[in-house]
Each structure stands twice: as structure tokens, then as C-alpha cells.
Amino acid sequence: MTVPHSVTQSVLYIYIYIYIYIYCTWGEIVTVGVGGPGDGYPVLGSVGDFPSRLVLHSFERETTVGGGLGAAECAKQKRSVRWCAFGDKKVEVMPGKPKLYYFDGRGKMESVRWLLTAAGVEFEEEFLKTREQYEKLLKDGVLLFQQVPMVEIDGMKMVQTRAILSYIAAKYNLYGKDLKERALIDMYVGGTDDLMAFFMRFPFLSAEEKEKEHANIIQKATSRYFPAYEKILKHHGQDFLVGNRLSWADVHLLEAILMVEEKKSDALSEFPRLQAFKANISSIPAIKKFLEPGSQRKPVSGDKYVETVRRVLRMY
Ligand SMILES: N[C@@H](CCC(=O)N[C@@H](CS)C(=O)NCC(=O)O)C(=O)O
């Protein structure tokens, strides 16, 4: 616990105090950790009890902090609360889970489900089933470009799949250790995205178009994309695509490999390093669990998914 000893120190603390008060009033912060242990401690406690270092540190990184309350009370608030300050101790509390707004199917949200899972983050979902649900989101002004996916995370309502994924990757340390690693991850994710784009369109094609596209997907996967990733893995001889540790690029590639295998089960037969890669990434506990039945992973999109998307988005 920090106690001011001099007039200068007291003035400094009062200044910080006023700053926080203004910040709380204007910003998103609703509660600031200032007190000692126990529920019912004043939200803005006495200056002498104020763990300024901790609070100021958090200001640089968080929009909402909890404190001045017991841990149980903080947890009850569930408002993007990251930690509570008790004297000079910082207690982590459960942050609100990200909430995903999309259809009950893969589409553009599936990669977000994969990445959150790989990061070990639990999430909630609201599935759009009716036009009214979608119109409510539009009316509430939460879909910046009138499109889903939308993800509520850390007090933001994020749209644009790529931005959502980059944020999660950066936040959970799945985005490389420096700019060069990040550039590689972006490149590899970009390639995988191009391959996945074929799968996004696929459910919406006619039976005749599907037949042609099926052959095209296998051809593109096995003659353009898989050889590229096989080469990368062979070149550095490591288990992961970038930096010898798990990144967004690995998670994304595994998702794509499994999609291709759903169309052609022996699609990896010519790619020994990708086979080992698949086994390795699939055995990461969180991912292994995600691949088991009953997880939040979505099945191959069928007619029901297509019909819902068309109805909700009025795609006729
Ligand atoms: N660039 C956006 C595209 C999102 C998008 O096309 N979403 C579709 C559903 S998968 C949508 O909401 N369409 C409604 C519309 O464009 O009016 C992203 O990647 O998130």
C-alpha cells in the first residue's frame, strides 16, 4: 500500500485522483481500483490507499478496470473487468466472454471460433435466425457496414473478419514476436484465406456448379496452396509455420486442411510435412477438444444454413 509522505507527494496523488475521476466520467471506465480489501470499500477511496502505480499502468492498456470492491463483487459486475486492486495487490478476475453474432454455421465466423479456441478463450454466440434479429442489430447501429460477423470483445463491437482475427491474434500472442514474423503470418493467412474463399461460396452454388467447383478446389489446394506450405515447413524444418511456435497462421492452415479433407480424404497424401503438421496442431489440447463432437465447431454448411442466410439477408 502506498502512503504519501510529503506535501508534494500528496499534491501529486490528488492530481492523479482528479485525472482518474475525469477519465471515469468521460471514458468507459466505471469503477477504479483504489481501496483495501473487502466489499463495500468506497469506489474512489482515500488518496493514501490509492495504489497509483497499478491503476495508472492499467490505464495504458485497459478501458475498464474494476476495484474498490471485493473480488466476488468485481466478478459479479462482468463488465470487461480485468482486475481489481486491493492495496498494492492486483487480482485477476474473469473478463466478460467475447460474444459472436453470426449464423449457426461456418461462413466467415468459423475462423474466429478456431482462433479464440486456440487462444483458450471461451465465447458466447448469438445465432441470427430471423430477419428481425438482423434488423435489430442494424437499428442499434452496431454493424458498422451493415454486415456480420460482429464480435463484442473488450468493450468493442468489432466487424470485418480480418480485423477481428488480427485483434485476437495480437492479444493472445499468436501474431509473431516482431514485424517480420507478423508479415509472414499475414502472408500465410492471406494464402489460406484465398483457399478458404472457395469454401465460403460453395454452399450457395447450384448442383451443377458444385460439381465443377469441387474439382477446382481440390486442384487449387493440391497444386497451389499445399505445395507452398509444404515448402515452408521443409525449408525451416520446424513444427510451426512461423517462429517455431504456434501462431494464427498454423490455426488457419489446419482449419483449411480439414476443409479440403472433407472433400477429399487423402488430399494430404503427397505432403508428408503437412501430415505431420496436421497431427501436431490437432494434438494441442484446446484444438483437440474443439475437434471432438459437441464443441462449438460448426459442421459443413448444408441447405438449412444456406436457406437461413438467404432469408435473413434477403438474398433472393
Ligand atoms: N469484409 C467483410 C464482409 C462481411 C460480409 O460479407 N458479411 C455478409 C455475411 S457473411 C453480410 O453480412 N452480408 C450482408 C450485406 O452485405 O448486406 C468481412 O470480412 O467481415
Residue 51 lies in a domain: yes
- pLDDT (tens digit, 9 = 90+) per residue, 100-148? 999 999 999 999 999 999 999 999 999 999 999 999 999 999 999 999 9
Per the structure, how many domains does the chain have? 2
Spacing, Cα 148 to ligand 1 middle (Å): 5
**Verdict on whether the full-model pTM lies above 0.85:** no
- Report which protein residue has its CA nearest ligand 1's atom 9: 148
Spacing, Cα 149 to ligand 1 middle (Å): 7
- The minimum-distance atom of ligand 1 relative to the CA of 309 is 9
In this structure, are 18 and 110 located in the same domain?
no
Which of 102, 134, 144, 148 is the best mutation target for the ligand 1 pocket, counting ligand atoms within 8 Å of the beta carbon and taking the most? Answer: 148
Residue 63 lies in a domain: yes
Record the cell numbers describing residue 198, joined without a space: 472457395
What residue numbers bound the domain in which 38 lies?
7-92
Residue 69 lies in a domain: yes
Record the cell numbers describing residue 215, joined without a space: 474439382
Residue 108 lies in a domain: yes
Buried b / exposed e over 268-296, threshold 16 CB at 10 Å, is beebebbeebbeebeebeebeebeeeeee
In this structure, are 183 and 52 located in the same domain?
no
Does the pLDDT value for residue 97 go beyond 80? yes
Spacing, Cα 204 to ligand 1 middle (Å): 14
Spacing, Cα 147 to ligand 1 middle (Å): 4
End-of-domain residue from the set 41, 71, 92:
92
- pLDDT (tens digit, 9 = 90+) per residue, 219-236? 999 999 999 999 999 999
Q: So what's the pLDDT on residue 144?
A: 98
* Separation between Cα atoms, residue 191 and residue 224, nearest integer Å: 10
Which of 104, 110, 147 is the best mutation target for the ligand 1 pocket, counting ligand atoms within 8 Å of the beta carbon and taking the most? Answer: 147
* pLDDT interval class at 96 (50, 70, 90): confident
In this structure, are 109 and 18 located in the same domain?
no
In this structure, are 184 and 150 located in the same domain?
yes
- The minimum-distance atom of ligand 1 relative to the CA of 143 is 12
- The minimum-distance atom of ligand 1 relative to the CA of 160 is 20
In this structure, are 86 and 208 located in the same domain?
no
- Report which protein residue has its CA nearest ligand 1's atom 16: 147
* Separation between Cα atoms, residue 12 and residue 8, nearest integer Å: 6
In this structure, are 50 and 129 located in the same domain?
no
End-of-domain residue from the set 62, 92, 122:
92
End-of-domain residue from the set 65, 92, 119:
92
- pLDDT (tens digit, 9 = 90+) per residue, 146-190? 999 999 999 999 999 999 999 999 999 999 999 999 999 999 999
CATH number of 195's domain: 1.20.1050.10
If we measure between CA atoms, which residue out of 12, 89, 101, 92 comes closest to residue 48? 12
Which of 103, 108, 133 is the best mutation target for the ligand 1 pocket, counting ligand atoms within 8 Å of the beta carbon and taking the most? Answer: 108
Residue 1 lies in a domain: no
- Tell me the CA distances in angstroms from 213 to 178, 217, 221, 223, 307, one per residue in order: 38, 6, 12, 15, 20
* Separation between Cα atoms, residue 220 and residue 261, nearest integer Å: 13
| Pocket around ligand 1 at a 6 A CB cut-off | 107-108, 146-149, 160-161, 313
- Report which protein residue has its CA nearest ligand 1's atom 3: 160
In this structure, are 173 and 46 located in the same domain?
no
Residue 20 lies in a domain: yes
Q: How many helices (H) and strands (E) does the chain have?
A: 13, 7
- The minimum-distance atom of ligand 1 relative to the CA of 164 is 20
Please, which residues bridge with residue 153 across strands?
156
* Separation between Cα atoms, residue 220 and residue 267, nearest integer Å: 11
* pLDDT interval class at 316 (50, 70, 90): confident
| 117 close to 299: Cβ distance less than 8 angstroms | no
Read out DSSP for 234-267?
A: HHH--SSSSTTS--HHHHHHHHHHHHHHHH-TTT
Residue 166 lies in a domain: yes
Residue 2 lies in a domain: no
In this structure, are 186 and 287 located in the same domain?
yes
| 117 close to 285: Cβ distance less than 8 angstroms | no
In this structure, are 252 and 300 located in the same domain?
yes
- The minimum-distance atom of ligand 1 relative to the CA of 108 is 10
In this structure, are 11 and 147 located in the same domain?
no
- Report which protein residue has its CA nearest ligand 1's atom 1: 160
Higher pLDDT, 120 or 46: 120
- Tell me the CA distances in angstroms from 138 to 24, 141, 153, 202, one per residue in order: 29, 5, 18, 27
- The minimum-distance atom of ligand 1 relative to the CA of 200 is 10
In this structure, are 73 and 120 located in the same domain?
no
In this structure, are 195 and 221 located in the same domain?
yes
